[in-house]
Structure 1
Amino acid sequence: MGVSATSPGQVGRRIAYHRSVARPKMTQQQLADRAGVALGTIRKIERGERGVTDSTLDAIACALGVDSSRLVADREHVSTRIRDTLPALSAAIATYDMPEDGPVRPLPDLRAAVAQATAWRLSAQYLQIARALPDLLTELTRAAAAASPATAEVMAGLLVTAYRAADAVAYKYQARDLSARLIELMRWAGSGAHDPLLAATVGYVRTEVFFAARAHTAGLRALEQAIDACPPPVGAEAAAVRGALHMRAAVIAGRAARGEAAEVHLAEARGLGDQVSEGVYQGTAFGPDSVRIHEVSVAVSLGNEHVQRAFHVAREWKPSADLPAERRSGFYIELARAQLWGGLADDAFESLKVARRIAPQHTREHPWVREDAATLRRLKRAEAESLTSFAEWCHAD
């Protein structure tokens, strides 16, 4: 891997900062041990005395539990690296039904690797996913093809979860055809898992296809079919999966200008959210806080006249740091749009900056961020230099 274009001094200062604010605080030795890098190398990097290769930067970012983009000023470099991995991801899924021979780790190791990919997805660490998933998917397809009857369903479930992590990158980086293909593979693999909750989760993710095509009425119909097929909400897991479907149905109903349907689904989600603790169920965050976030999403989906509802939620509540980064940043992106519609341009810019601090890659690639930053720039309501820098960062027109 090449050396990043970012200056060594900038990278070193950012690494030192994130190490100092880690919980618990991390020493240079601990960082070196976790990243698999020599202590002397860490010291020289933090002092700005040497550059950092991409592979070393990724290892340090992983050890710190942050996205690599947080450690560099040249965020375009990170985005380019992610896009450069998409052909490898496409090649990995091309042989889904005829994998080449190769090594396969024990099942516990594969479970751990897939769990790590899910953690990266929820924290919007797309570069880590993009680098790891081509090889992991290839290995999982080999494992699934050779699975015994006793482990076949488990392997199918792991494949679905891994495909979902890969789709997060494809969808966020506008590789719509690749995203649609990955979702179809989720459906294909899911049929072998014989797990109705997993099937419902695939229905949740499938909605991306309808959002991308702006086929909101069809997407609502597909989600309602998934809700009908979902097991009764007996137990936290089933209640959360069903509630997540209702959350997403509320948003897409709003996009379809089906206000009454949006309210019905949001009320169902709220009732189910009150039955469970906020957490991640079948790879999807759900609970009372997630429902509040989606209430803002529904208000924005329904249009300008509903922005006061979004403001009401935001006045009384803010997402805690315990929620997944992608979901928290999404809240501030949606809120920014409501604030912009409500004539609160300065507040909208502040919300976009909060979203960037929480999940920079998710925020940078979100089309609404680019649209809203471009609008704010035309309005010239925020401090010019800061707004121009932000607009250039997210490639706003």
Structure 2
Amino acid sequence: MPGATAAALGQRIETARLSAGLTRRQLEKLSGVSYSTIRKVEGGDRSPGDGVLDALARALDRTPEDLLEGPGRTDSRVHRAIPELQRVIATYDLPEDGPVRPLPLLAADVGQAVEDRVQSQYARLAERMPPLLGELFRAVDQAQGVEREQAARLLALAIRSADATAYKYGYQDLSARLVELMRWAASIAANPALEAAAAYVRMETFFSAGQLAPGLRSLRAAVDRMPAPTTELLAAAAAALHMRAAVAAGRMRRPDEAREHLRDAEVLSRHVREGLYDGTAVGPDSLEIHRLSVAVELGEPRDLREAVDAAARWAPSRDLPAERRSHYYIDLGRAQMLLGRPQHAQESLLVARRIAPQHVREHGQVRTELATMVRLSRGRDEQLLQFARWARAV
């Protein structure tokens, strides 16, 4: 077992022990595993064999898989709806026969799906998307000319909403497939701004695979393909690409590149009113939220302090989508943790939870931060433990 895996496993075992309210001596008595072994395993200095892992799991009322793989998925209507979504997209180019409503009616349903996505209503999305996607696949298949382009645009936006659910709930292969289908639909729509939105979403695939360098190249290529920002929609599309590229460069610890992308996004955002453009929130407020994200990804103390100080003077407007506002407070919590302020971080995550509970509950970084807080508190903060259990972080 590689060292990094041993360290992560050790942290999960320690978090599970603390959440159960056990000391190492108590775990020794319950499991039969020696104190010194438990200390080495929790510290990441030793990889437990199968017998030790089984004994620790039994004593902690967990399964070995729970400890090896980390927190499981939350129970949700989403998981019951996923097979139908997979069935529908399998025949995207050979849609089943059925009715197709006029485009204005389809547009209204797609608009609601976009709203559900940005407000983090993932369970509702999961149930509503399969029939809507099936109808939109038929619309694209049957239409011609301008009507086909319009139907394809609606399809691309609907696929993006479906992808948000798949991505948030851990269906990475399905998410990657949906991203490719979004790109396919955007190409039919022959809409540069929509194709830029598809490139923006595609970065999720690179993030989840840890392929940041090719992901950043794909964003740069998408920027290069953009026509001049002669309209607000084109300026918003280009700004969104630069904001996402800034986050990617920040995660790669490339501060100069990250700040250059932020500057480019700022110039473009001056000509963009805050709002949704092809499903992406863009504007001055969204830019401020991305500044915080970049500071967290870079992890430089000076930038983090400046970002946290700025948060004392500015907060995202309630007019912004819930998902974007909650993401701001998640990143603020991450910044506060990096600065050694776990109590402030806990408060920020609680704000994020009030804004968009489904988003927070399924966010991997939230689970990581909560598990760290449990270890730092030695499992003595009952409110924190309840929060961590709700998010399946322990």
Unaligned runs of at least 5 residues, structure 1: 1-75
In 2: Cα distance, 1:192 partner to 1:77 partner:
35
- Name the stretch that deviates more: 266-275 or 293-302: 266-275
Cα shift at 1:127: 1.0
Q: Which residue of 2 aligns with 1:133?
A: 129
In 1: Cα distance, 2:181 partner to 2:381 partner:
46
Larger RCO: Structure 1 or Structure 2 (Cα < 8 Å, ≥ 6 residues apart)?
Answer: 2
Is the 8 Å Cα contact of residues 345 and 381 (structure 1) preserved in structure 2?
no
Establish whether residue 197 from structure 1 lines up as the match of residue 193 from structure 2.
yes
Q: Which residue of 2 aligns with 1:290?
A: 286
Q: Which residue of 2 aligns with 1:10?
A: none
Which among 324, 327, 330 is matched to residue 327 of structure 1?
324
Cα shift at 1:232: 1.3
Q: Which residue of 1 aligns with 2:92?
A: 96
Which among 259, 268, 271 is matched to residue 267 of structure 2?
271
Is the 8 Å Cα contact of residues 148 and 189 (structure 2) preserved in structure 1?
yes
Cα shift at 1:281: 1.1
Runs of 4 or more, structure 1, over 6 Å off, are none
Is the 8 Å Cα contact of residues 220 and 252 (structure 1) preserved in structure 2?
yes
**SS, match of residue 150 in structure 1:** helix
CA deviations on 1:240-288 (whole Å, 9 max, x unpaired) are 1110110000000011111110000001111211222111111110111
Q: Which residue of 2 aligns with 1:308?
A: 305
Is the 8 Å Cα contact of residues 104 and 142 (structure 1) preserved in structure 2?
yes
Which among 170, 175, 188 is matched to residue 166 of structure 2?
170
- Name the stretch that deviates more: 330-339 or 310-319: 310-319
Unaligned runs of at least 5 residues, structure 2: 1-71
What is the CA RMSD across the aligned residues, in angstroms? 1.6
**SS, match of residue 326 in structure 2:** helix
Q: Which residue of 1 aligns with 2:345?
A: 348
CA deviations on 1:196-234 (whole Å, 9 max, x unpaired) are 111111111100011101111111111010011112111
Q: Which residue of 2 aligns with 1:82?
A: 78
Is the 8 Å Cα contact of residues 129 and 165 (structure 1) preserved in structure 2?
yes
Q: Which residue of 1 aligns with 2:382?
A: 385
- Higher CA-based Rg: 2
Is the 8 Å Cα contact of residues 304 and 342 (structure 1) preserved in structure 2?
no
**SS, match of residue 206 in structure 1:** helix
Is the 8 Å Cα contact of residues 266 and 284 (structure 2) preserved in structure 1?
yes
Q: Which residue of 1 aligns with 2:255?
A: 259
Cα shift at 1:312: 2.9
- Name the stretch that deviates more: 265-274 or 298-307: 298-307
Amino acid at match of 1:391: A
Size of the aligned set, in residue pairs, is: 322
CA deviations on 1:311-362 (whole Å, 9 max, x unpaired) are 1331221011100000000000011011011011110000000000000000
Identify if the C-alpha distance between structure 1 residues 391 and 323 changes in structure 2 by more than 3 Å, giving closer, same or farther. Answer: same
Is the 8 Å Cα contact of residues 76 and 123 (structure 2) preserved in structure 1?
no
Is the 8 Å Cα contact of residues 244 and 286 (structure 1) preserved in structure 2?
yes
Is the 8 Å Cα contact of residues 179 and 202 (structure 2) preserved in structure 1?
yes
Cα shift at 1:148: 2.8
Is the 8 Å Cα contact of residues 254 and 302 (structure 1) preserved in structure 2?
yes
TM, length-normalised to structure 2: 0.79
Is the 8 Å Cα contact of residues 239 and 272 (structure 1) preserved in structure 2?
yes
Cα shift at 1:77: 11
CA deviations on 1:77-107 (whole Å, 9 max, x unpaired) are 9842111111111111001000111111111
